[in-house]
Amino acid sequence: MTRRRPNRPAGLDGLLQGASALADVPTVTLPTAQLRPAAFQPRQHFDPDTLTELADSIRKQGVLQPLLVRPSGAEFEIIAGERRWRAAQQAGLTHVPVYVRDLTDEQATRAALLENLHREDLNQYEEAAATLRLVALTLGVDEDTARARMYAAARGTNTEDREALEDLFAAASLGSWQSFTTNKLRILKYPDAIVQAMRGGLHYSIAAVIASAPEANQAELLALALGGAGYREVKARRAELEARPTPLRVDPARVTQVGKRIGSVKWLGTLDDRAQKDLQAWLNRMPDSVRRAMNLPD
């Protein structure tokens, strides 16, 4: 079945489907108590120190850039500017300037994603997550499907999405989609402890060294990084750990016996249909760590 080709985005206005066209929208002032964060806000972590710095700036100069909100019953939902809203309240402001727009859920999500992706203080996990959501919206699929299609496009096995990805990343000034797919998309599958460290500011290059290390070594490497070690130091320590012989936790004699049996085509031919099916099912349940260590295909 041929997949429907996604529409090509036409610049930022096309990406937002009109949500970014604020030039003709008047600024109004609303009470901070009448605003609430959107459920689809890409930013999940607000650094207390930088929030305090912004609050100090707002206390002196006010909110220089209006928030983008949409009506939601008796309140207004913040599409872009939750950090400014939080800092304004911390600074003691009771009202803030806003742009009010009637936006659909999809338009609002696009606007929130793009606004946050162009903020320097967005951590790298949230940046990767927001970018993938934006790709999923553009392709009209869920995030797991979008991830799979990006990997396929990078491998060259999916040529249908390449133009849409190039248009999206160029229009949104997100850099190279190939580089994002190769280097940052994997971040979203990192262990929770590494993700939390990235939310706290751990650089993705160091996180990548830790995430690709054997699971048994990750806690030590993460503690080293959180203690202030840089990329080279963490990478060197990983090499030291991997150079150490791993204590045997299996019965070598039993493993050797199993290997000889399974490696014998003659022995395999003596198995009946039921035994062969059970053996295949057993092989299919092989843990991923063992499969990777044996360099076996998925």
8 Å CB contact between 127 and 184:
yes
Predicted pLDDT at 121? 65
CA distance 119 to 297: 40
Predicted pLDDT at 298? 59
Worst-scoring range by mean pLDDT, 34-43, 58-67, 145-154, 177-186?
34-43
8 Å CB contact between 82 and 37:
yes
CA distance 148 to 76: 36
Specify the higher pLDDT residue, 6 or 271. 271
Axis-axis angle for helices 48-61, 82-90 (nearest 10): 70
pLDDT per residue as tens digits for the range 102-140 = 888 888 888 888 877 876 567 888 889 889 999 998 898
User: Domain 13-117, what architecture?
Assistant: Alpha-Beta Complex (3.90)
HSE at residue 281, side-chain half, CA atoms within 13 A, is: 6
For the chain, give every domain's residue range.
Answer: 13-117, 123-186, 203-243, 252-293
Element (H, E) at 96: strand 95-100
Predicted pLDDT at 17? 46
Specify the higher pLDDT residue, 247 or 211. 211
Active site residues: 82
CA distance 293 to 105: 45
Worst-scoring range by mean pLDDT, 39-43, 196-200, 235-239, 261-265?
39-43
Vertex 200: Cα angle to 198 and 205 (nearest 5): 30
Q: Which residues contact 169 (CB under 8 A, 6 or more apart)?
A: 175, 176, 177, 180
Mean pLDDT, rounded, for 222-229:
94
Dihedral of CA atoms 238, 241, 242, 243 in degrees, nearest 10, equals 120
Mean pLDDT, rounded, for 160-189:
90
Q: Minimal CA–CA distance to 147: which of 187, 113, 193?
A: 187
CA distance 27 to 98: 6
Sign of CA dihedral 142, 190, 149, 173: positive
Worst-scoring range by mean pLDDT, 76-90, 146-160, 283-297?
283-297
Vertex 291: Cα angle to 148 and 298 (nearest 5): 30
Predicted pLDDT at 176? 93
94 confidence band (pLDDT: 50, 70, 90): very high
Predicted pLDDT at 229? 93
33 confidence band (pLDDT: 50, 70, 90): very high
Burial class of residue 238 (count of CB atoms within 10 Å of its CB; 0-12, 13-18, 19+): buried
Distance set, CA 55 to CA 119, 153, 200 (Å): 17, 43, 20
Query: Looking at the predicted structure, is the pLDDT value of residue 71 above 70?
Result: yes
Q: How many CB atoms lie within 10 A of CB 103?
A: 22
Worst-scoring range by mean pLDDT, 24-38, 107-121, 166-180, 266-280?
107-121
Worst-scoring range by mean pLDDT, 33-42, 63-72, 81-90?
33-42
Query: Looking at the predicted structure, is the pLDDT value of residue 8 above 70?
Result: no
Specify the higher pLDDT residue, 103 or 57. 57
Predicted pLDDT at 199? 83
What's the mean pLDDT when you consider all of the chain? 84
Q: How many CB atoms lie within 10 A of CB 53?
A: 12
CA distance 158 to 221: 37
Predicted pLDDT at 181? 94
pLDDT per residue as tens digits for the range 228-276 = 999 999 999 999 988 877 677 788 888 888 888 888 888 888 989 898 8
Predicted pLDDT at 13? 47
What amino acid is encoded at 67 in this protein? L
16 confidence band (pLDDT: 50, 70, 90): very low
Predicted pLDDT at 44? 67
